[in-house]
Structures are given as C-alpha cells and as structure tokens.
Amino acid sequence: MNITVIGAGYVGLVTATCFADLGNKVLCIEKSENKIRKLSAGESPIYEPGLTELLRENIERKNLLFGRDIAEGVAYADVIFLCVGTPQSEDGRADLSQVEEASRQIALCMKSYKLVIEKSTVPVNTHRWVKRTMYRYLSSDIPFDVASNPEFLREGSALSDFMNPDRIVVGVENDRVKETFIALYKPITDKGHPLLVTNPAEAELIKHAANSFLAMKISYINKLADLCEKTGADITMVAKGIGLDTRIGTRFLQAGIGYGGSCFPKDVKAFIRIAEQNGVDFTLLKDTEIINCERRERFIDKIEQILWINKDKNIAVWGLAFKADTDDIRESPAITIVKALEESGANLFLYDPAAMDNFKLVMPEKANLRYAQDKYDALSNCDALIVLTDWKEFAEADLSEVKKRLRLPIVIDGRNIFPLELMKTQGFEYYSIGR
C-alpha cells in the first residue's frame, strides 16, 4: 500500500519506518528542512534504539522517502496519517493548530478520494473538526473519510511496541475504512495481536483514557510509597503483592520521583480539560497530577533531610532523561531537581548515557555544574550520589567502584534501582523511595 505520513516527530517517524518495513511504500512529509536533510541521509533526529538501522534499511529498499511538500504527499497516497504535534497550550488544552493546518492543506490539494487518519493524540471528537475543515476547503465534491488510529508506543521501545502491540485501535465510520485497516495491519494481526474496531470518538477517548489511567496508577503507587515509608513497609513488596492480582497487574507500579515525558503530563492535563468542557469534574485525575508534582518537591526535601546543608557539597547525579533508553528530557523530574540543587549551592557533577546534550541546552555547563565523561567519572570526591533515571547501566554499576570513588558512601535513589540488602552489605548509606 502507498502511505503518506505527515509529521516526522516521534510517532510519525516510527509509524513511517515501521509501515515501510512491513512492505508498504511510505512518503513522510516534514516541514523542518534540517530534519529532512538528516533523515534522507539515514540519520534519525531522535534517539530510539534500533530506529537508525531500520530507517537506513528501508531508505535503501526504497520503501521510505522524505519530502517537504504536502501536495506531493497528498498525491502520493490515498491513505494519509496525521502525525503532527498536539502540544499543550497555556490553559492545559491541546493546541490543535497543526492538525487544523494539515487538514486544510490536504483538502486544498486533494484531487481524488483520501482516507485521513489521526494518529496524533487528540481530544475526543477532533475527527468532527477535521471533517468539517476538509469540507470547507475542498474545491469540489471529492469523497473522503476520516478515521482515528491512536498510537500507544513508548519512547525507548517504540519499534517493538509498534510491531507487537497489546492492541491496535481503529475508529472508523464505515466498512470500507475498516477493510483498509484490516489489510494495513494484517502482518501484525497475523502474529496474534488484536485489532479493536470502534467509532472515531471512542478511539480518540481510548488514547487519552489509557495514558491517564497509567499516570493514575503511577501516582497511586507513589502515594502508597509515602505510607510505606511511615509504616516500615517496602513499596516494592507491596507493589508485587497487589500487582500479582491479574486484575491490577504488575506493570506501571514502580514508585519513584513521578512521571515525566512529552505524553503523560500533557495528556492528563488535556483530559481534565476535556472532561471539564463536557461538564465532568475528573477529580481523580486532578489528584493524579497534584501527587505527581509533589514527588519532585518531596525528593528535594528528602535530599536536604539527608545531607542537611547542600551548599558547597559535591553531588553526583546519575540520570537526566525522563526515563531510561531515551535522550528526551521533556518534563523530566531531573530538570526541577537539578535546578533546586544548584540553587541551594551544591556543586553538581551530572551524567546521563544519552540525554546530556539535551540537558545542556536547559542547563549549560558552568563552574558549579559539570557534565561527566561517564558514570564513574561523575562520582570522584562527591559527598553523595543521586539517581534520577532508571538506566540499566546504573543498576548494573560496579558498586565497589562507586564506593571507592565517592567521598562519602551516600546514595539517594529516586528510582529504587538497587536492592536494599545489597546496598547494606556493600556498606552504603542508602535511601530510596517507599522502602
């Protein structure tokens, strides 16, 4: 099948590359010249394990092309995926201007039938606006369909999430569109992954509802972690104990310094606003958000309670990305925490396996804020090590080397990456979350 993908951000690029890899001919349209230059040379503008290789393979196989001209994209395929950004606007709602612009431009250059599919995360009933916009700008009575096909991939495991999804959700209004999706996803459904057919409004809702539910699960376990700290229980055991109930499930019950990234914070906010606009006061999600914001402050207080005075202390920080396996620092708890430590007068030595370049744009290097060569280099002569991201290479660190390098064997872990017993036997003064 010929497919056009509009937008080469996280979702667009992964969608384009994976559909190309499944044997389709894909043209990905992107405004940024810089991105197009990189992509055409087989370079991924985002850090995602395995993406560069898959990108190159499919460019070589001529299954994947990049371009800037939306008219070219519209002429190229009958199936068009909208993967443009839907950032947060000042009042918390999703800013849909890029969705409107793409819908308008598609309509303006359409000469034959098109199926326009929303893949970006959008508020419920956005499909109605896409349709309305297209009707308004179409020059003649050309038929088209609008469908919703939300994406559930996670940064860091995006390719495998796309190819092996828990489910594929398609929101359609007629059988023709349903059959197109069945054909498009056949290589994936043949492996046993289910495809759920709904109407477009349900599909749009499912995306926001899923992200909000997962965020709520994280805030729940984080609040429970506070109770564990007060009562002498270990949150990892409590999480295991409740998670083994298959109705609850063990995943997304990792307590820590809260969720970040480009999705959960934005989507929870947007979902609260969507509910509000429809007369529903979603207090459960408001609390989810409040609890998440408090995590960072609580952790900053915890550091102060342990170190007493941060001023002039040398502090090593492991992890700047909002989670492991990504260079993304958007809404990363590390931004708030590192800023607070810096303001309190500490000398900081930061290290992250992938996110340092991005972090430097927010917090440039200076006398009291240095970026280390590697994780051990960050530790030399430090009074404490603070862990902010759950990278595997941190969990697998040589603890005797860590102890040797630190001036004081104090580890304050915001992600619970080390076993309590091990830290005790290794002689660390170890603090973590809810244990």
CB of 122 vs ligand UGA, minimal distance in Å: 11
- Beta bridge partners, 65, equal 27
User: SS in 3 state form for the chain?
Assistant: CEEEEECCCHHHHHHHHHHHHCCCEEEEECCCHHHHHHHHCCCCCCCCCCHHHHHHHHHHCCCEEEECCHHHHHHHCCEEEECCCCCECCCCCECCHHHHHHHHHHHHHCCCCEEEEECCCCCCCHHHHHHHHHHHHCCCCCCEEEEECCCCCCCCCHHHHHHCCCCEEEECCCHHHHHHHHHHCHHHHCCCCCEEEECHHHHHHHHHHHHHHHHHHHHHHHHHHHHHHHHCCCHHHHHHHHHCCCCCCCCCCCCCCCCCCCCHHHHHHHHHHHHHHCCCCCHHHHHHHHHHHHHHHHHHHHHHHHHCCCCCCEEEEECCCCCCCCCCCCCCHHHHHHHHHHHCCCEEEEECCCCHHHHHHHCCCECCEEECCCCCHHHCCCCEEEECCCCHHHHCCCHHHHHHHCCCCEEEECCCCCCHHHHHHCCCEEECCCC
Q: How far is the CB of 2 from ligand UGA (least distance, A)?
A: 26
Q: Is 260 in the site for ligand UGA (CB under 6 A)?
A: yes
* Contact residue for ligand UGA among 263, 350, 379, 384 (CB under 6 A): 263
The answer to the question of residue 253 lying near ligand UGA (CB under 6 A) is yes
* Nearest distance in Å: CB 405, ligand UGA: 26
Q: Does 261 bind ligand UGA (CB under 6 A)?
A: yes
- Count of residues of this chain found to bind ligand UGA when the rule CB under 6 A is applied: 20
Residue 424 CB contacts under 8 Å (≥ 6 apart), including other chains: 430
Tell me, yes or no, if 263 is annotated catalytic.
yes
The least distance separating ligand UGA from the CB of residue 121, rounded to whole angstroms, comes to 6
Among positions 133, 149, 236, 254, the unique one binding ligand UGA when judged by CB under 6 A: 254
Measured from the CB atom, is 76 or 81 closer to ligand UGA?
A: 81
Q: Least CB distance from residue 52 to ligand UGA, whole Å? A: 18
Q: Is 386 among the residues that bind ligand UGA (CB under 6 A)?
A: no
- Part of the chain binding ligand UGA (CB under 6 A), chosen from 1-9, 192-200, 259-267, 418-426: 259-267
Q: Which of 76, 144, 220, 322 touches ligand UGA (CB under 6 A)?
A: 322
> Closer CB to ligand UGA, residue 30 or residue 331?
331
Is 240 or 311 the residue whose CB approaches ligand UGA more closely? 240
319 binds ligand UGA (CB under 6 A): no
Nearer to ligand UGA, 134 or 214 (CB): 214
Near ligand UGA by CB under 6 A, which window of 39-47, 171-179, 261-269, 367-375? 261-269
Binding to ligand UGA (CB under 6 A) within 159-218 occurs at 211, 214, 218
Q: Minimal distance in Å, beta carbon 139 to ligand UGA?
A: 35
> Of these, 4, 24, 103, 121, which contacts ligand UGA (CB under 6 A)?
121
**Residues at the interface with ligand UGA (CB under 6 A):** 121, 151-155, 211, 214, 218, 252-254, 256, 259-261, 263-264, 322-323
Q: Which residues are catalytic?
A: 263
